[in-house]
Amino acid sequence: MGIFDRLKASLTKTRQAFTERVETILHRRRIDEELFDELEETLLAADIGFETTQFLLNRMQKEARRKKLETADQLVPVLQEAILEILGEDPEPLTFAIPGPTVVLFVGVNGVGKTTTIGKLAKKWSDEGKKVVLAAGDTFRAAAIEQLVIWGERASVDVIRQTTGSDPAAVIFDAINAAKARKADILLCDTAGRLQNKANLMEELEKVYRIIARELPGAPHEVLLVLDATTGQNAITQAKLFSDVAKVTGIVLTKLDGTAKGGVVIGIKQALRIPVKWIGLGESIDDLQPFSAAGYAQALFSGATWIVGDNA
């Protein structure tokens, strides 16, 4: 199965909850307030988010007045254009620092697949011939350290760790020095994901930032926020919180397969203007894929009679 086919299969439930429902609402109807009420309900149910829903509705209402549209199917290209506008261009790929190591910091709450994402990327880049080092900076949970060690073994890369409860910044410091000594191309740093105390989270991340910047000017080169697509609006809430306490440069959206809440991709882009850079489509290593705005849109709208696309 090709990448597009995997993405299309992963968005099946989202497509049923969003695209097919919207198509039904817009089929052979006049434009009135009841129509927009039904559209609002559908967009919110697809976990696109309140802000994005209002943006899309306002765009359709404005264009309906401006162009004097009469039937709902005339709103189809307006909705399609607005969604594609939100998704924008594909995100820039990771630019590797020369000389290395390139430092990628991962943030996010526990349980979203952060450590697994690090392991999959470590395997991918290691297989491509890059020398990778992992930093077990989530010292709050012994399981996180153990899981990263297992991934390190699978990817045949070194894991720098200390005991549970150690200072995360100290682990990152050791990892930077190890990466330098071993002439690593990439250093992937895990961090704790507890949110019970926002002040502590901010203080911990600021300390980690300070250590990285001091030891490697210009680093971290990328800060990736890992979110769980199945949590829908919760993912947007987490993204807003972490964007307040961390200099997030991109988002990894895991568990996109099997959820009806894949519309959260659109909500994240509209609400935060932070690019989604990677998406998780399953459990295997190959199921972590770079995000393609065009591919996502085509997969989301695939099968809809009102969308024209090469892969539809």
Residues in the chain: 312
Kindly report the pTM of this predicted structure.
0.90
CB 302 within 8 A of CB 18: no
Q: Is the pLDDT of residue 308 over 50?
A: no
What's the token pair of residue 250?
Answer: 């991109």
Q: Using only C-alpha atoms, what is the Rg of the chain?
A: 21
Per-residue pLDDT reduced to its tens digit, 175-222: 999 999 999 999 999 998 866 566 777 788 889 999 999 999 999 999
Angle at which helix 50-66 crosses helix 33-45, to 10 degrees, equals: 150
Give the percent of the chain with pLDDT over 70. 95
Under DSSP, the state recorded for 30 is B
SS3 state at 71: strand
Range 233-241 average pLDDT: 86
What's residue 312's pLDDT? 37
> Which domains, from first to last, does the chain contain?
3-90 (1.20.120.140), 102-292 (3.40.50.300)
> Among the listed ranges 65-69, 79-83, 165-169, which one has the minimum average pLDDT value?
79-83
Q: What is the pLDDT of residues 256-273, one digit of tens each?
A: 987 888 888 999 898 888
Instruction: Please check whether residue 15 is in contact with residue 296, taking contact to mean a CB–CB distance below 8 angstroms.
Output: no
Q: How confident is the model at residue 311 (pLDDT cuts 50, 70, 90)?
A: very low
